[in-house]
């Protein structure tokens, strides 16, 4: 691990009231002293107590850059567990950059993305789940995501993983002790006892893995793509969902030429919604590009909203759209139900039954708000499994955590099979250790340097 002194701007790179330049490492206070002058010009930061605030100025040589407040937090009682100094300055981008430049010129190195959090992890200040929760907290887009990140930051995931690992390591220790000293430690009846414990562990792991479906939706939101032929009502639907006129709506077919992406919050759940060009065969080069992009977006969708003009018969373009939906969750909206319809709900059910399973068909009209409420309720029902309760439940939102939990579960399944096959005790120990190690990956006790670097490289600068 590098132990030099690092610095970075810790606030957003935009003009604001306050900006923070953070310095961390063994020379943090000395570096700050080289650029700081107190109001009277005599106070040295090196002589000050930890967790104190000091008023003064930052200078580059003889040139004053800004009036500042300086916070001193000496290790190990800081976020990084190292000596840390934060310079609170005025939040202009030029001011912050100049202060950072003079700090770097006086002995600090520019921090890499996530390096402050990485040092906190490597110094034992936080575990890996808390480090990842910091980034999730910053990126939260809805109330559920925010609360989930706070719970993880408070250590709920860490405590649960620690509890499971303690149960597993206890059994490993017993088996190893019994193998080393069979005269004094009997394993008679132990397989039956271990089977009960393994079944309980498998149940707990399964429940945690099951929360990932909700957890992913909480963290990332639902990727929703609106498909349909030109003039079916796609852009009107987008505007209804947004509650404002974002998409141009006309009676001219092919008005939407490109994808239009927007974000909405649906009762605390993030919805990334994409309006696309109407899908049809066309000779128009620009419109054709839009149609191709619509097809690409459909491939990565969690949910497709297929808008059908129910006042017109289905044609070849409709069946091409339905082909794009064959392996996707879909809501089929029979739009313009307030007009004379030729495509009924019963007819659409008959058309879809042979090639789709996970779909819902709704009669809608963009002129009626009740249709929108039914659509919103259906969207939530399709993605939220049970009630989202973040008060006590550990919710898994990180795919890395899910993979490690699955790996641990697979190892415990091998233990269970060995017990059923009445295999020797050393077989149990090997797979129990693999389950223990897999859980350790979540909290950072069984991870290599490459993975640590990859995780923290995704963090923002200054964090």
The pLDDT confidence band at residue 261, using thresholds 50, 70 and 90, is confident
Q: What is the pTM of this model?
A: 0.68
- Domain check: are 178 and 117 in the same one? no
Greater confidence (348 vs 150) lies with 348
- Domain check: are 180 and 226 in the same one? no
Average pLDDT rounded to a whole number, residues 204-221: 82
Q: Identify the domain containing residue 93 by its residue range.
A: 6-127
Is the residue at 16 inside a domain?
yes
Is the residue at 64 inside a domain?
yes
Collect all residues with Cβ–Cβ distance below 8 Å to 248 and sequence separation of at least 6: 235, 255, 256
Say yes or no to pLDDT of 404 above 80: yes
- Domain check: are 204 and 225 in the same one? no
- Domain check: are 330 and 279 in the same one? yes
Q: What is the CATH number of the domain that holds 432?
A: 1.20.120.430
Query: Among the three residues 127, 147, 167, which one is the final residue of a domain in this structure?
Result: 127
**Domain tally, the chain:** 3
Is the residue at 461 inside a domain?
no
- Domain check: are 355 and 251 in the same one? yes
Say yes or no to pLDDT of 247 above 50: no
Query: Among the three residues 364, 383, 402, which one is the final residue of a domain in this structure?
Result: 383
Say yes or no to pLDDT of 279 above 90: no
Which of 15-24, 55-64, 252-261 shows the lowest mean pLDDT across its residues?
A: 252-261
Greater confidence (270 vs 22) lies with 22
Q: What pLDDT does 111 receive? A: 92
Q: What pLDDT does 438 receive? A: 94
Q: What pLDDT does 5 receive? A: 96
Is the residue at 460 inside a domain?
no
The pLDDT confidence band at residue 49, using thresholds 50, 70 and 90, is very high
Greater confidence (88 vs 129) lies with 88
* pLDDT tens per residue across span 59-97: 999 999 999 999 999 999 999 999 999 999 999 999 999
* pLDDT tens per residue across span 438-451: 999 998 886 667 76
Q: What pLDDT does 139 receive? A: 67
The pLDDT confidence band at residue 185, using thresholds 50, 70 and 90, is confident
Q: What pLDDT does 136 receive? A: 74
Say yes or no to pLDDT of 309 above 90: no
Say yes or no to pLDDT of 268 above 80: no
Say yes or no to pLDDT of 347 above 60: yes
Is the residue at 34 inside a domain?
yes
Is the residue at 59 inside a domain?
yes
Query: Among the three residues 90, 112, 127, which one is the final residue of a domain in this structure?
Result: 127
For all residues of the chain together, what is the average pLDDT? 82
Average pLDDT rounded to a whole number, residues 321-325: 82
Average pLDDT rounded to a whole number, residues 231-239: 80
Q: What pLDDT does 251 receive? A: 42
Average pLDDT rounded to a whole number, residues 423-446: 89
- Domain check: are 273 and 369 in the same one? yes
Say what percent of the chain tops pLDDT 90: 35
- Domain check: are 234 and 371 in the same one? yes
- Domain check: are 33 and 100 in the same one? yes
- Domain check: are 278 and 350 in the same one? yes
Say yes or no to pLDDT of 327 above 70: yes
Is the residue at 462 inside a domain?
no
Q: What is the CATH number of the domain that holds 315?
A: 3.40.50.300
Q: What is the CATH number of the domain that holds 68?
A: 3.30.1360.120
- Domain check: are 363 and 411 in the same one? no
- Domain check: are 206 and 225 in the same one? no
- Domain check: are 270 and 336 in the same one? yes
Is the residue at 448 inside a domain?
no
């Amino acid at each position: 691990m590098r132990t030099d002194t690092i610095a970075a701007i810790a606030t957003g790179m935009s003009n604001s009231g306050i900006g923070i330049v953070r310095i961390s490492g063994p020379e943090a206070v000395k570096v700050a002293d080289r650029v700081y002058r107190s109001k009277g010009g005599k106070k040295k930061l090196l002589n000050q107590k930890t967790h104190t605030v000091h008023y003064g100025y930052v200078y580059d040589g003889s040139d004053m850059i800004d009036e500042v407040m300086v916070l001193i937090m000496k290790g190990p009682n800081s976020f990084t567990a190292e000596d840390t100094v934060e310079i609170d300055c005025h939040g202009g981008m030029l001011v912050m950059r100049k202060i950072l430049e003079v700090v770097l010129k006086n002995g600090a190195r520019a921090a890499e993305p996530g390096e402050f959090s990485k040092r906190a992890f490597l110094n034992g200040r936080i575990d890996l789940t808390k480090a990842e929760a910091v980034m999730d907290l910053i990126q939260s887009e809805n109330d559920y995501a925010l609360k989930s990140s706070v719970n993880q930051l408070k250590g709920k995931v860490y405590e649960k993983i620690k509890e499971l690992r303690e149960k597993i390591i206890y059994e490993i220790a017993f088996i190893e002790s019994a193998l080393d000293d069979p005269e004094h430690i009997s394993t008679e009846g132990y397989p039956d006892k271990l089977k009960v414990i393994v079944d309980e562990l498998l149940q707990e792991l399964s429940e945690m893995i099951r929360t990932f479906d909700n957890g992913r939706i909480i963290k990332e939101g639902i990727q929703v793509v609106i498909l349909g032929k030109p003039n079916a009502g796609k852009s009107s639907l987008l505007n209804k969902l947004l509650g404002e006129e974002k998409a141009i709506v006309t009676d001219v077919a092919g008005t939407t030429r490109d994808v239009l992406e927007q974000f909405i919050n649906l009762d605390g759940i993030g919805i990334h919604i994409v309006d696309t060009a109407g899908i049809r065969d066309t000779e128009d080069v620009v419109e054709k590009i839009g149609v191709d992009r619509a097809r690409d977006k459909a491939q990565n969708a969690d949910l497709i909203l297929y808008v059908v003009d129910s006042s017109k018969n289905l044609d070849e373009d409709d069946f091409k759209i339905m082909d794009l939906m064959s392996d996707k969750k879909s809501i089929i909206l029979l739009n313009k139900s307030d007009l004379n319809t030729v495509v009924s709900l019963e007819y659409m059910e008959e058309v879809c039954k042979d090639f789709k399973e996970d779909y819902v068909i709704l009669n809608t009209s963009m002129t009626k708000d009740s249709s929108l409420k039914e659509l919103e309720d259906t969207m939530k029902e399709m993605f939220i499994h049970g009630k989202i309760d973040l008060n006590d439940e550990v919710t898994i939102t990180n795919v890395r955590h899910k993979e490690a939990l699955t790996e641990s579960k697979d190892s415990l399944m091998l233990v269970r099979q060995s017990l059923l096959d009445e295999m020797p005790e050393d077989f149990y120990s090997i797979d129990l250790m693999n389950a223990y190690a897999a859980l350790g990956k979540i909290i950072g006790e069984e991870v290599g340097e490459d993975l640590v670097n990859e995780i923290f490289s995704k963090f923002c600068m200054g964090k």
